Amino acid sequence: MRLIEAANYEEMCAKAANIIIFQVKEKTDSVLGLATGSTMMGVYKQLVEDHRQNGTSYRNVRTVNLDEYIGLAPDHPNSYRYYMNQYLFSHIDIPLSQTYIPNGASSDVEAECQRYEQLIESLGGIDLQILGIGRNGHIGFNEPGTPFSVPTHVVELAPSTRQANARFFPSLEEVPRQAITMGIATIMKSRHILLLASGTAKAAIMAKLFEETVTTDVPASVLHTHPNVTVIADQEALSLVP
Ligand code: F6R
C-alpha cells in the first residue's frame, strides 16, 4: 500500500484526478470503477475541468460504479445514477451506454447482483477502482463483518451509514435500508485500487487502517493484501496516524 499525503481536500482531489487522467490516456478503453459520496465530488470536478481545458477523452472508457440504493429509480435525485450523471457523466464525452451502475429498482435484486458481477467480467475486469472509506471502514457498502470472499450482493445498511448519508435526504427515514454493492471479492480483482480519505471524520478509521491488522471488522483493511493499492489522504485524515 503506497501512501500519498496531501495538504488538504483540494490537493487530494487533484492528485487523484491526475492518476485517473493518466490511466485514461495510457489506456483509452480503460474500465474505471467509480464511487459516489462527498469525497469524490471534488475529484469529478477536476476531471470535468481537465476535460474542458485539455480535451482528455472518455469516448472509449467504460465505467462501473460500486453501489446503488435499493428502491430508488435511476432518475431519483438521491440515486447514485443521478449523482454520477450530475457530477461527471453529463460533463464529459463518455456515452451513457458505457456507464454501468447496479439497478436498485430491479424487481429481482439477487439476479441483478449476478448480472452485474458477470458484466464486470465481460468488460475484462476493472483497471482502476476508486474507493472512499466509511467512518466504520466500509468500502463500497461492505459493512464491518462482511466476509472478504463475497461478490456483488445485497446489503442491509448499518445505522451509522444511514446516519452519515442522511445529509443528502430530506429525513433519516427516507434513507434506503438496503443497497446493492460490489463485494470485497469483486473490488479486490481490480488491477489498481485508489483509496481516498479527507477530513477529521476519517482520522480514527485511517489510524485503524494503518495498524495493518487485516480483519473483517475493518473492511478496508483487506487492501493490505492487494499488490497495487494507492492511498491518497489529506493531513486531517492522517492526523491520528502515529
Ligand atoms: C460510495 C461508497 C461509499 C463511500 C463512503 C465514503 O459509492 O461506496 O463507500 O465512498 O461511504 O463516503 P463520503 O465520501 O461521503 O465520506
Residue 158 has pLDDT above 90, yes or no: no
Residue 242 lies in a domain: no
Give the pLDDT of residue 126: 98
Residue 239 lies in a domain: no
Which among 68, 103, 112, 136 is annotated as catalytic? Answer: 136
Annotated catalytic residue 138: yes
| Nearest CA residue ID for atom 9, ligand 1 | 140
Q: Other C-beta atoms within 10 Å of 227: how many? A: 8
Q: Kindly give the number of the ligand 1 atom that is closest to the alpha carbon of 36.
A: 7
Has residue 113 been placed in a domain?
Answer: yes
Please state, for a pLDDT cut of 70, what percent of the chain lies above it: 100
Residue 204: inside a domain: yes
* Residue nearest atom 11 in ligand 1 by C-alpha distance: 134
pLDDT for residue 161: 87
Q: Convert the pLDDT of each residue in 37-62 to its tens digit.
A: 999 999 999 999 999 999 999 999 99
The set of cell numbers assigned to 205 is 478509521
State the average pLDDT over residues 215-219: 98
pLDDT digits (tens, 9 = 90+) for 81-112: 999 999 999 999 999 999 999 999 999 999 99
What average pLDDT score do residues 220-226 get? 98
How confident is the prediction for the chain on average, in pLDDT?
A: 97
240 belongs to a structural domain: no
Catalytic-residue membership of 136: yes
pTM comes to 0.97
Q: Where do the H-state alpha helices sit in the chain?
A: 9-26, 38-54, 80-87, 109-122, 159-165, 184-188, 203-209
- Lowest-confidence segment of 15-19, 70-74, 115-119, 184-188 by average pLDDT: 70-74
| Domain presence at residue 137 | yes
Q: Determine the pLDDT at residue 148.
A: 98
User: Whose CA is closest to atom 12 on ligand 1?
Assistant: 37
Residue 212: the pLDDT is 86
Domain hosting 226: range is 2-234
Query: How much is the ipTM here?
Result: 0.99
Return the CATH number at 91: 3.40.50.1360
Residue 161 lies in a domain: yes
**Residue 164 confidence class, pLDDT cut points 50, 70, 90:** confident
Number of domains in the chain: 1
CA of 66 to the centre of ligand 1 (A): 10
CB atoms inside a 10 Å sphere around CB 168: 14
Q: What is the pLDDT of residue 108?
A: 97
Instruction: Look up residue 128 and give its amino acid.
Output: L
On whether residue 46 sits in a domain, the answer given is yes
CA of 132 to the centre of ligand 1 (A): 5
Q: Which of 65, 103, 127, 138 is catalytic?
A: 138
Residue 95: count of CB within 10 angstroms of its CB: 12
Mean pLDDT for the stretch of residues 150-165 = 92
CA distance 141 to 67: 7
Q: What is the pLDDT of residue 42?
A: 98
The answer, yes or no, to whether any atom of ligand 1 lies below 6 A from the CB of 66, is: yes
